[in-house]
Amino acid sequence: MSADRFVSPDDIRSLFAQAMSTMYRTEVPLYGTLVDLVAEINDAVLTANPALAEQLDRTDERTRLDQERHGAIRVGTAEELATLGRLFAVMGMHPVGYYDLSVAGVPVHSTAFRPRTAKALAHNPFRVFTSLLRLELIEDAALRDESARILARRRIFTDAALALIDQAEREGGLGQEDARRFVIESLETFRWHGDATVSLATYHALHDAHRLIADVVSFRGPHINHLTPRTLDIDAAQAAMLARGIDAKAVVEGPPPRRCPILLRQTSFKALQETVHFPSGEAADAGTHTARFGEIEQRGLALTPKGRALYDQLLAQARDSGGAGSTGQDYPTRLAAAFTAFPDDHATLRREGLGYYRYALTDAGRADPAAIGDLPAEALIAAGLASADPIVYEDFLPVSAAGIFQSNLGGEEQRAYAAHANREAFEQALGMQVEDEFAIYERLQAESLATLRNA
């Protein structure tokens, strides 16, 4: 088959994201309520802030706002992780960033599979935060060995999905009918199963070791544990959830509210308590499991390494000022106080090299190309000849991700794992290296500057 008859990975990703959203709305109806709530807030924000609406139009973000989602999934073995990597590659999604969540009491390490280029992100930015269980962090050796045996027996991909992955790799892509079948078959890996593969007693033993271990090990598939619409005002979304009686988590994760949003802010409604049937001889025991929830995200400016170092420093300061790692009731006040040290206007953020921006000529600049010359970008902006729009942060924050995980695993659960970052082991399990997110943002900024000059 010639390459021009293949469906583009971007289109396959869009089909998959929409199918995933439809499935999750059916499985977790409250998620549909969340999507509708966010759409109402976004419409209100854009109506009240024409400058923001114009910026989103200029950067191709307006059209992708309603379709934007991220999901999260947790797998148990290197084979499962590596095959997920191959599956996502068919959709133009690549592993970006390494996250060690063990430092925050969650026995996993993770990456985000996502598109990387400006064109692919504009088409559909769907991303999946993917975590691999750290069996070596289970202290009980017998339970650790039993978990490994349980996971080794399961097969989380359909035969048809595996065959289509092989075909896409062998032929360089998928035609229209095969792409449709690929989406349908791949969706089965992410579907909820109400029947556990372990006894209720084994489930309780896994649950006592860590709720997340029970979630990963006890089912025949990993199931998507949340999807996430993007809001333009997460504080309004949090208030709206509470006003509608939705059981929202207590604290919005990430930086405090700002005039110039940075990185990522996240909140969610608490995970559902769902009935699960556990095999028990000829019958089945009924029990419950808590894992799946709905999340909302607000994305802001992608920070440079210098900006990220300042963010991490101020976040640690806010958390430690209330006791080691404390996020008590006064945490929002402490967080806001700490972040007064982080510049909150785009001109300063650019001048101090704290964030990444996408540069483009304005109408005035395009009308008078001779005026461009060799002027620095800031001079062009000051003269009204160029614009600089924030490049959206497409990745994740380990502390925030762990905070969401902990909140939806019962909230009170904490573990005192030591730092166990092991990027080399994760990449070995994945079968490829994860990409440096800073390099991607640097490239996007450089490409925009080059286009500005060449225009």
The pLDDT assigned to 212 comes to 84
Q: What is the pLDDT of residues 241-299, one digit of tens each?
A: 888 888 887 778 889 999 999 999 988 877 677 788 888 755 556 667 776 777 889 99
Mean pLDDT, residues 104-114: 88
Closest to 357 measured CA to CA, from 335, 341, 382, 378: 378
Q: What is the pLDDT of residues 323-360, one digit of tens each?
A: 544 556 788 888 899 999 999 999 999 999 999 999 99
The pLDDT assigned to 453 comes to 81
> Which pTM was predicted?
0.88
DSSP secondary structure code for residue 328 in this structure: -
Q: What is the pLDDT of residues 132-179, one digit of tens each?
A: 999 888 888 998 899 999 999 999 999 999 999 999 999 999 999 999
How far is Cα of residue 159 from the mean position of the Cα atoms in its chain?
28
- Flag whether pLDDT at 302 surpasses 90: yes
SS3 75: strand
Q: What is the pLDDT of residues 58-89, one digit of tens each?
A: 877 887 787 767 899 999 999 999 999 999 99
> DSSP string covering 141-202, please?
HHHHHHHHHHHHH---S-HHHHHHHHHHHHHSSB-HHHHHHHHHHHHGGG---SBBSS-HHH
Between 32 and 415, the more confident residue is 32
Mean pLDDT, residues 190-196: 87
Query: CB of 115 within 8 A of CB of 11?
Result: no
Distances (CA, A) of 376 to 360, 387, 391, 443: 13, 12, 19, 18
